[in-house]
Chain A
């Protein structure tokens, strides 16, 4: 084995990392080889410096990292009480509420096609453009206090907003009365 081959062996010899037989062979070689002996001396010196630094403990200041790690890994559990219901509960509750609302709304008359229409509009209301309007029919109509404009048949029962027509004469214009 040449000196070059022994270089790595010597580097491990200083740290006592060679097997016994390898260490014996390396020491035999250095005993006979001045160059390798010098190399071993320098390796021992530099390794001693390294070990001296290694044996000086690094000063680790500060407290535990766990509170900071915990706050980042488990943010939901820091300073907040744990919920005592499963995670699907809010979604399920919302879905159940929506279904209940739909059932309720679906059962009301307003959305039922077969139910009677709510009486917001007078069922007798009609507009026939072909019909000749006699202004005399409207002369005895009085304005309704609500001031609502409407077309209406005269002499029929009033079903809409405002007051029913009265007998007060109204000097209106044209064919439209103010109810």
Chain B
């Protein structure tokens, strides 16, 4: 049995005669009581999972906590997992649902803020020449994304920000691929309309006047 320190990642047990063990094999090993096999699955997926959850919650520590909870729930439900399916999408479905549940609870409590990180009333930093440049592309995209209904936003994040294929998203969302393609098209159309409206807002447009990189990108 291998004990790992806090900052150590290990792929021990993942390779057998130079061949990387499949997820299905590791899941089977976990079911037989091999604890380290689950460690292999965790280390294989954790960074990607944290990254995806981070796209939803925008807080690294929170994303890590939710990813940890995802692995715990996946372990508890491992007997429900169909070994003929892929483990990755099943795991990401749990993680995305946890992130969305968190956001719903937060919204119900009235704690949500559209500018959670940028903060429209944020006081200017005197060390910066033009405080309007602080609003970067990432925050603007985030602002627009948060105005899109959840089912479209999820597809947009998974496809255009995290680069999952439509078939992978279909597996994660447990929907038909045709449904995901329709949602993706609808999501992009909604994002485009909001993006244009946002650019037509004079205050926002002004904030980009000094940002040459951004105006070059759009031209």
Contacts and interface: CB of A to CB of B under 8 A. Distances in A.
Interface of A: 7-9, 11-12, 14-15, 17, 39, 42-43, 45-54, 56-70, 72-74, 77
Contacts of B137: 49, 52-53
Interface in B1-36: 1, 4-10, 35
A11 B184 contact: yes
28 contacts: A7-B189, A12-B188, A43-B189, A45-B195, A45-B218, A47-B160, A47-B188, A49-B140, A49-B195, A50-B160, A50-B161, A60-B47, A60-B60, A60-B63, A63-B8, A64-B46, A65-B50, A66-B46, A69-B39, A69-B42, A69-B75, A70-B4, A70-B38, A70-B39, A72-B72, A73-B72, A77-B1, A77-B35
Given A53-B161, A64-B4, A65-B71, A8 B141 contact: no
Nearest to A63: B7
A43 to B, nearest CB: 5
A59 B47 CA distance: 10
B7 A61 contact: no
Interface of B: 1, 4-10, 35, 38-39, 42-43, 46-47, 50-51, 54-55, 60, 63-64, 67-68, 71-72, 75, 137-138, 140-142, 156, 159-163, 166, 181-182, 184-186, 188-189, 191-192, 195-196, 217-218
Interface centre among A61, A62, A66, A67 (most CB of B within 10 A): A66
A63 B159 contact: no
Nearest to A62: B64
A54 B163 contact: yes
A42 B192 contact: yes
A1 to B, nearest CB: 15
B65 to A, nearest CB: 9
A64 B42 contact: yes
Given A67-B4, A77-B1, 12 more contacts: A7-B185, A8-B185, A12-B184, A17-B184, A53-B137, A54-B163, A62-B64, A63-B6, A64-B4, A66-B4, A69-B75, A74-B35
